[in-house]
Amino acid sequence: MNQEEPFRTLLIWGLLAVLPIAVYHRLKAHSSREPLDRRQEGLFILATLRPIGLAFIVGLILYLVNPARMAWASVAIPGALRWAGLVGIAAAGVLLFWTLHSLGANLTDTVVTRKAHTLVVKGPYRWVRHPFYDCVALLLLAISLAAANWYLLLMGSLALTLLVVRTPREEERLLARFGDEYRAYMARTNRFVPTRRGK
Protein backbone atom coordinates (compact mmCIF):
# COMPACT_ATOMS: atom_id res chain seq x y z
CA MET A 1 0.00 0.00 0.00
CA ASN A 2 1.17 3.52 -0.82
CA GLN A 3 2.38 5.16 2.43
CA GLU A 4 0.36 8.26 1.53
CA GLU A 5 -2.92 6.37 1.27
CA PRO A 6 -3.83 6.00 4.98
CA PHE A 7 -3.27 9.73 5.59
CA ARG A 8 -5.22 10.70 2.48
CA THR A 9 -8.10 8.36 3.37
CA LEU A 10 -8.31 9.46 6.99
CA LEU A 11 -8.02 13.10 5.95
CA ILE A 12 -10.99 12.63 3.62
CA TRP A 13 -13.02 11.00 6.39
CA GLY A 14 -12.02 13.71 8.86
CA LEU A 15 -13.07 16.47 6.48
CA LEU A 16 -16.32 14.66 5.67
CA ALA A 17 -17.06 14.74 9.40
CA VAL A 18 -16.04 18.39 9.95
CA LEU A 19 -17.20 20.22 6.81
CA PRO A 20 -20.93 19.45 7.16
CA ILE A 21 -20.84 21.24 10.53
CA ALA A 22 -19.60 24.43 8.88
CA VAL A 23 -21.90 24.09 5.87
CA TYR A 24 -24.99 23.51 8.04
CA HIS A 25 -24.36 26.55 10.23
CA ARG A 26 -23.37 28.72 7.26
CA LEU A 27 -26.60 27.84 5.40
CA LYS A 28 -28.66 28.36 8.55
CA ALA A 29 -27.13 31.82 9.09
CA HIS A 30 -27.67 32.78 5.43
CA SER A 31 -31.33 31.75 5.52
CA SER A 32 -32.19 35.33 6.53
CA ARG A 33 -30.95 36.44 3.07
CA GLU A 34 -29.70 39.64 4.66
CA PRO A 35 -27.18 41.37 2.38
CA LEU A 36 -23.76 41.90 3.97
CA ASP A 37 -21.46 44.68 2.76
CA ARG A 38 -18.09 42.94 2.44
CA ARG A 39 -16.49 46.20 1.27
CA GLN A 40 -16.27 47.16 4.95
CA GLU A 41 -13.38 44.68 5.22
CA GLY A 42 -11.22 47.08 3.24
CA LEU A 43 -9.93 46.72 -0.30
CA PHE A 44 -6.74 44.83 0.62
CA ILE A 45 -8.54 42.10 2.58
CA LEU A 46 -11.32 41.94 0.01
CA ALA A 47 -8.78 41.43 -2.80
CA THR A 48 -6.61 38.86 -1.03
CA LEU A 49 -8.40 36.78 1.61
CA ARG A 50 -10.81 34.81 -0.53
CA PRO A 51 -8.39 34.17 -3.44
CA ILE A 52 -5.79 32.83 -0.99
CA GLY A 53 -8.46 30.71 0.69
CA LEU A 54 -9.43 29.39 -2.74
CA ALA A 55 -5.77 28.58 -3.50
CA PHE A 56 -5.66 26.52 -0.28
CA ILE A 57 -8.88 24.69 -1.18
CA VAL A 58 -7.68 23.90 -4.71
CA GLY A 59 -4.40 22.51 -3.34
CA LEU A 60 -6.29 20.44 -0.77
CA ILE A 61 -8.67 19.02 -3.40
CA LEU A 62 -5.73 18.12 -5.66
CA TYR A 63 -4.08 16.31 -2.74
CA LEU A 64 -7.26 14.46 -1.82
CA VAL A 65 -7.97 13.37 -5.39
CA ASN A 66 -4.38 12.34 -6.12
CA PRO A 67 -1.54 13.07 -3.65
CA ALA A 68 0.98 12.71 -6.48
CA ARG A 69 -0.40 15.96 -7.98
CA MET A 70 0.83 17.82 -4.88
CA ALA A 71 4.04 15.80 -4.39
CA TRP A 72 6.09 18.85 -5.45
CA ALA A 73 5.09 20.50 -2.15
CA SER A 74 5.44 17.47 0.11
CA VAL A 75 7.65 17.66 3.19
CA ALA A 76 9.30 14.77 4.98
CA ILE A 77 7.95 14.95 8.52
CA PRO A 78 7.71 12.22 11.17
CA GLY A 79 4.67 9.99 10.94
CA ALA A 80 3.75 10.94 14.51
CA LEU A 81 3.27 14.55 13.41
CA ARG A 82 1.03 13.46 10.56
CA TRP A 83 -1.07 11.38 12.96
CA ALA A 84 -1.19 14.40 15.29
CA GLY A 85 -2.59 16.35 12.35
CA LEU A 86 -5.43 13.85 12.00
CA VAL A 87 -6.16 14.12 15.73
CA GLY A 88 -6.08 17.91 15.33
CA ILE A 89 -8.78 17.71 12.66
CA ALA A 90 -11.02 15.85 15.09
CA ALA A 91 -10.32 18.41 17.82
CA ALA A 92 -11.00 21.26 15.39
CA GLY A 93 -14.31 19.64 14.49
CA VAL A 94 -15.41 19.54 18.13
CA LEU A 95 -14.33 23.15 18.70
CA LEU A 96 -15.98 24.22 15.44
CA PHE A 97 -19.30 22.65 16.41
CA TRP A 98 -19.18 24.28 19.87
CA THR A 99 -18.26 27.67 18.40
CA LEU A 100 -20.84 27.72 15.62
CA HIS A 101 -23.57 26.36 17.89
CA SER A 102 -22.80 29.17 20.37
CA LEU A 103 -22.67 31.80 17.62
CA GLY A 104 -25.97 30.77 16.06
CA ALA A 105 -27.55 33.20 13.58
CA ASN A 106 -24.80 35.77 14.23
CA LEU A 107 -22.44 33.91 11.89
CA THR A 108 -21.09 35.96 8.98
CA ASP A 109 -18.04 35.63 6.74
CA THR A 110 -17.18 39.30 7.01
CA VAL A 111 -16.77 42.09 9.58
CA VAL A 112 -20.36 43.30 9.28
CA THR A 113 -22.86 42.53 12.03
CA ARG A 114 -26.38 41.41 11.18
CA LYS A 115 -29.45 43.55 11.94
CA ALA A 116 -30.53 41.12 14.65
CA HIS A 117 -26.97 40.53 15.88
CA THR A 118 -26.51 39.69 19.55
CA LEU A 119 -23.35 39.75 21.62
CA VAL A 120 -22.31 36.15 22.21
CA VAL A 121 -20.36 35.55 25.44
CA LYS A 122 -21.23 31.90 26.06
CA GLY A 123 -19.55 28.66 25.06
CA PRO A 124 -15.95 29.21 23.88
CA TYR A 125 -16.70 32.96 23.64
CA ARG A 126 -16.58 32.99 27.41
CA TRP A 127 -12.79 32.60 27.25
CA VAL A 128 -11.77 34.08 23.89
CA ARG A 129 -13.30 36.70 21.59
CA HIS A 130 -12.61 34.91 18.30
CA PRO A 131 -12.74 31.14 18.81
CA PHE A 132 -13.81 30.65 15.20
CA TYR A 133 -10.39 31.89 14.10
CA ASP A 134 -8.80 29.49 16.58
CA CYS A 135 -10.79 26.68 14.90
CA VAL A 136 -9.57 27.81 11.49
CA ALA A 137 -5.96 27.95 12.72
CA LEU A 138 -6.14 24.46 14.22
CA LEU A 139 -7.85 23.02 11.15
CA LEU A 140 -5.40 24.57 8.67
CA LEU A 141 -2.38 23.41 10.68
CA ALA A 142 -3.86 19.93 11.18
CA ILE A 143 -4.61 19.50 7.46
CA SER A 144 -1.11 20.69 6.52
CA LEU A 145 0.48 18.23 8.94
CA ALA A 146 -1.70 15.29 7.89
CA ALA A 147 -0.93 15.99 4.22
CA ALA A 148 2.75 16.82 5.00
CA ASN A 149 2.48 19.68 2.54
CA TRP A 150 4.26 23.06 2.73
CA TYR A 151 2.00 24.67 0.09
CA LEU A 152 -1.10 24.00 2.19
CA LEU A 153 0.70 25.33 5.27
CA LEU A 154 1.80 28.47 3.40
CA MET A 155 -1.63 29.24 1.91
CA GLY A 156 -3.34 28.44 5.21
CA SER A 157 -0.91 30.67 7.11
CA LEU A 158 -1.47 33.54 4.68
CA ALA A 159 -5.26 33.22 4.97
CA LEU A 160 -5.03 33.08 8.75
CA THR A 161 -2.73 36.13 8.82
CA LEU A 162 -5.29 38.07 6.79
CA LEU A 163 -8.03 37.08 9.25
CA VAL A 164 -5.85 38.33 12.10
CA VAL A 165 -5.19 41.59 10.22
CA ARG A 166 -8.96 41.97 9.65
CA THR A 167 -9.83 41.38 13.32
CA PRO A 168 -9.35 44.97 14.61
CA ARG A 169 -11.80 46.22 11.96
CA GLU A 170 -14.27 43.54 13.05
CA GLU A 171 -13.89 44.60 16.67
CA GLU A 172 -14.44 48.25 15.70
CA ARG A 173 -17.82 47.22 14.27
CA LEU A 174 -18.66 45.28 17.42
CA LEU A 175 -17.67 48.23 19.61
CA ALA A 176 -19.84 50.53 17.51
CA ARG A 177 -22.73 48.09 17.84
CA PHE A 178 -22.47 47.05 21.50
CA GLY A 179 -20.46 49.90 23.08
CA ASP A 180 -19.60 49.51 26.75
CA GLU A 181 -20.92 45.95 26.84
CA TYR A 182 -18.33 44.90 24.25
CA ARG A 183 -15.66 47.05 25.91
CA ALA A 184 -16.24 45.17 29.19
CA TYR A 185 -16.13 41.87 27.29
CA MET A 186 -12.80 42.88 25.75
CA ALA A 187 -11.43 43.69 29.19
CA ARG A 188 -12.04 40.16 30.45
CA THR A 189 -11.07 38.16 27.35
CA ASN A 190 -8.20 37.91 24.87
CA ARG A 191 -8.64 37.91 21.12
CA PHE A 192 -7.28 34.46 20.36
CA VAL A 193 -5.63 32.95 23.43
CA PRO A 194 -8.05 31.64 26.08
CA THR A 195 -7.94 33.35 29.44
CA ARG A 196 -9.09 32.38 32.90
CA ARG A 197 -10.60 35.85 33.33
CA GLY A 198 -13.69 34.98 31.25
CA LYS A 199 -16.89 34.85 33.31
The CA distance from 152 to 140, in Å, is 8
Averaged pLDDT of the chain: 91
Q: Quote the percentage of the chain above a pLDDT of 70.
A: 96
Whether CATH 1.20.120.1630 fits 5-30+38-188: yes
The CA distance from 35 to 19, in Å, is 24
Q: Which residues contact 93 (CB under 8 A, 6 or more apart)?
A: 14, 17, 18, 21
Distances (CA, A) of 91 to 85, 139, 143, 144, 159: 10, 8, 12, 15, 20
Question: Of the candidates 125, 182, 149, 128, which has an alpha carbon nearest to the alpha carbon of residue 74?
Answer: 149
Specify the DSSP class assigned to residue 39.
G
Packing angle, helices 79-103 and 5-30, rounded to 10? 10
At 95-135, the pLDDT tens digits run 999 999 998 888 887 777 777 788 999 999 999 999 999 99
**Quick one: pLDDT at residue 187?**
94
pLDDT at 1 over 50: no
The larger pLDDT score, comparing residue 152 to residue 35, is at 152
Q: pTM of the entire structure?
A: 0.90
